[in-house]
């Protein structure tokens, strides 16, 4: 059993991927830029905000305004406050685990804390919240995972990573950690072979 479980947040513990991409689609549409929700989720799931914005600008051959990201983050926070829910099975899983656990997310610290607070999951993690913005390295770079493990005094080989996106999965593997991938529906064909796929968070109890 792992000594430390590092959970991704968006799409893994909180049901935010579709919600946040829906806001992105709406904000882009207000500027005459049309993305379908399915396309947005496929393109931007688990990615870095700056890279997502660069992708949008390249796709539409445009330059978004300097206040686009701050405006998008405000709209997303409002949507979270109105609708964000934990992923089915998250509360039961966290209640069942006895080993140490933390959050390791590509999102900014304020978004991490807001999401956990709104869904009632913050008490499970306390201050063990690690953001790519703090180490200036985003998944699939393994630095976020390695930094979290080092700070908590656990060797990478004794860590498990729970992810729902390919960037996070590749980052966990590069860190030398055991990786569990949450894919309730379609499994990406490019998923690495040395990853354990689970369809529901309840399946993780036996592993963690």
Catalytic residues: 8
Identify the three-state secondary structure at position 50.
helix
Q: First and final CA of the chain: distance in angstroms?
A: 6
| Sequence-separated (6 or more) residues with CB below 8 Å from residue 16 | 9, 10, 80, 84, 115
Token couple for 24:
């992105």
Q: In 3D, which of 123, 156, 174 has the Cα closest to residue 3? A: 156
DSSP string, 73-88: HHHHHHHHHHH--BPT
CB 149 within 8 A of CB 175: yes
DSSP string, 18-46: HHHHHHHHHHHHTTT----HHHHHHHHTT
Compute the CA torsion angle 3, 156, 122, 23 (nearest 10 deg). Answer: -140
């Amino acid at each position: 059993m792992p000594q430390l479980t590092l959970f991704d947040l968006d799409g893994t513990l909180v049901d935010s991927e579709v919600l946040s991409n829906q806001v992105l689609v709406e904000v882009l549409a207000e500027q005459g830029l049309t993305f379908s929700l399915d396309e947005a989720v496929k393109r931007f799931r688990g990615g870095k905000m700056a890279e997502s914005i660069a992708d949008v600008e390249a796709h539409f051959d445009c330059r978004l305004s300097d206040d686009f990201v701050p405006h998008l983050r405000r709209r997303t926070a409002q949507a979270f406050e109105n609708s964000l829910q934990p992923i089915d099975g998250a509360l039961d899983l966290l209640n069942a685990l006895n080993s140490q656990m933390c959050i390791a997310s590509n999102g900014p610290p304020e978004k991490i804390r807001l999401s956990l607070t709104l869904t009632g999951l913050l008490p499970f993690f306390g201050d063990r919240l690690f953001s790519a913005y703090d180490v200036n390295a985003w998944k699939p770079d393994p630095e976020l995972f390695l930094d979290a493990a080092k700070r908590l005094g656990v060797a990478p080989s004794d860590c498990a990573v729970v992810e729902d996106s390919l960037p996070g999965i590749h980052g966990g593997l590069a860190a030398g950690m055991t990786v569990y991938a949450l894919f309730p529906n379609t499994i990406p064909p490019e998923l690495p072979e040395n990853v354990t796929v689970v369809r529901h968070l309840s399946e993780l109890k036996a592993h963690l």
